[in-house]
Each structure stands twice: as C-alpha cells, then as structure tokens.
C-alpha cells in the first residue's frame, strides 16, 4: 500500500515536471509575441514587477518566511548580485537576443548554461573537469559553431542581426551560469522561495532605470490584449507557478531525473515556434541543437 502511494506521488511529480518543461518552452513563444508590441527591457521589467507581489503572496501563504534571518548590509549586496545576474542583465540580453534570433535557436543556446557552469566551477571553485565533462564541453561548443555559422563556411558574410542575437543569447547563458554558481552560497542560508522573491523584486527595481531609454509610458498605452496575455503568462505562469512547482517537484524527485526534463525545452520550443510563429526548422538548428544537448548531457552526468 505504501509502495503504491509512493509510486502515485512519483507519477504526480513527474507529470508536474513535464508541465513545467512545456511552460518554460512556451515562454520563448510568448516572449516573441510580447516583443512585437513591447520593447525588450520594458517587457522584462513589467514581467518581474507583476511576478514580485505574486511571489510575496506565495511566500506568506506557504509560511516560507518563517525562521529567515537577514543581515541587511551583507545580504543586500549578495541579493543585488543575484538580482543583476539572475534578472536584470540576464533578461536584457535574452530579450534583446530574441529580437534578432528565432525562439528555437534561443531555447537551444540558453541550454549552454550548463557548459559555462562547468567551466566557471573549474576556474573559481576548483571543481574537477574530468574527461567526460571536457568531451561534453567540446561537443557542445561544436554544436554552437554549427548553429551560429548556419553550416556556412563564409562566416564573414553571415547575417549580422542573427549573429548579434545568437551572441546575446550566449552572453545570457554565461550570466545565468554566474548566477547559478553564486546562488549556491545564498541558498545555504535562505529558502529558494524567499531568495527568488527578493531577487525578483530587486531585479525589477534595477531594470526600471534601463526602461527609460525605451519610453515605456508610450508603449504601455498601445499594448493590445495579446500583449497583456504575454505579460501575464510570463509573470504568473512562467515565473511564479512554474518556479514554485519546479522546486516542489525537485524536493521529491532525484535531481538528475528532474534535470532530464530540461532537455525537453528546446525540442518543445522548436515545435511550438514552427506552428505558432512560422519559424523554419533548419538543418543547422537540428544538428547543432543535437550536439549541444549531447554535450550538456555529458557535462551534467559525468
């Protein structure tokens, strides 16, 4: 009886992880939809300005704030670093990237975060780079070259806008890797929900000054219902619901097993972007994406 109950719970959490993977995959589609009406930084700011109070409410309702202690000076600096890397700079680069590159390519390139985490961990945390990880890094970088070059040898004649978009997404992957490594230290003394709530709030605050160059007041007045749906999806479904669901499932399922669901994201995004955005699925995207996913898998599991 107890075994059957545990099997049922495992199935529920695996279904939850599948829903989260689809949710995050679809976020690239909604970002592209939102960017058609709202400038990148303004879209990022509105997303987290809406998500922050929702996360505060979730924190209070779940009692996640109990027993938390803060040392203002030290924790403010630490959380500011997390906010700048995990929200402000990350989404400035990522959203501007999706102005110039496709949703499918963007979802594949952001997966290289794992590769940069391995490199940075070896450089700054003295973590070992074994043969498997090195092989994974090399395979993933070969995949990067295939996607960026689009299987063309005359790389100097490539579309400069696509190159800019790909470069910005790779930069966002590096920034996300920095955030992921630095957040390990913070999560030793703060719960994930508390840390995320603070990061969302500070990240939105630090995005605010950057929005001024985009004249957000003029933009917001022209947003259609489709733009509003995009904002609500990114803020409530993608940022709040998906994160809480992911952490809940992660606490009950093996990390490696949960991580496997992240490999579904670029595949699902590529399919969705083809049907909903009319994006072409080129051979370079398929081949390069396969190499990157293989490289990420080797880096994560060896």
Residue 84 or residue 10, greater confidence: 84
Q: How confident is the model at residue 108 (pLDDT cuts 50, 70, 90)?
A: very high
pLDDT for the residue numbered 60: 86
Q: Which two tokens stand for residue 302?
A: 């060896």
pLDDT in tens, 203-222: 999 999 999 888 766 677 78
pLDDT in tens, 39-64: 999 999 999 999 999 999 988 887 76
First to last CA, the chain: 36
């Amino acid at each position: 009886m107890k075994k059957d109950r545990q099997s049922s719970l495992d199935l529920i959490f695996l279904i939850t992880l599948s829903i989260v993977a689809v949710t995050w995959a679809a976020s690239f589609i909604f970002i592209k939809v939102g960017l058609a009406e709202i400038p990148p930084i303004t879209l990022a700011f509105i997303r987290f300005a809406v998500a922050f109070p929702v996360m505060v409410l979730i924190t209070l309702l779940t009692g996640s704030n109990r027993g938390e202690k803060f040392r203002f000076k030290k924790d403010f600096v630490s959380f500011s670093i997390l906010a700048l890397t995990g929200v402000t700079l990350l989404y400035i680069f990522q959203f501007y990237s999706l102005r110039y590159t496709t949703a499918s390519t963007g979802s594949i390139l952001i997966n290289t975060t794992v590769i940069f985490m391995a490199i940075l961990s070896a450089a700054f945390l003295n973590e070992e780079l074994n043969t498997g990880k090195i092989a994974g890094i090399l395979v993933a970088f070969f995949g990067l070259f295939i996607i960026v070059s689009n299987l063309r040898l005359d790389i100097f004649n490539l579309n400069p806008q696509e190159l800019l978009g790909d470069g910005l997404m790779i930069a966002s992957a590096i920034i996300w890797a920095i955030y992921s490594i630095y957040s390990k230290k913070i999560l030793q003394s703060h719960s994930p929900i508390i840390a995320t709530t603070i990061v969302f709030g500070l990240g939105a605050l630090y995005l605010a000054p950057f929005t001024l160059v985009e004249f957000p007041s003029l933009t917001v007045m022209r947003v259609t219902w489709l733009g509003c749906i995009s904002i609500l999806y990114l803020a409530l479904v993608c940022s709040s619901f998906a994160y809480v669901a992911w952490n809940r499932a992660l606490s009950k399922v093996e990390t490696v097993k949960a991580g496997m669901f992240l490999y579904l994201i670029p595949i699902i995004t590529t399919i969705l972007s083809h049907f909903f955005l009319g994006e072409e699925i080129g051979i370079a995207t398929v081949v390069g994406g396969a190499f990157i996913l293989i490289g990420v898998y080797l880096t994560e599991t060896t």
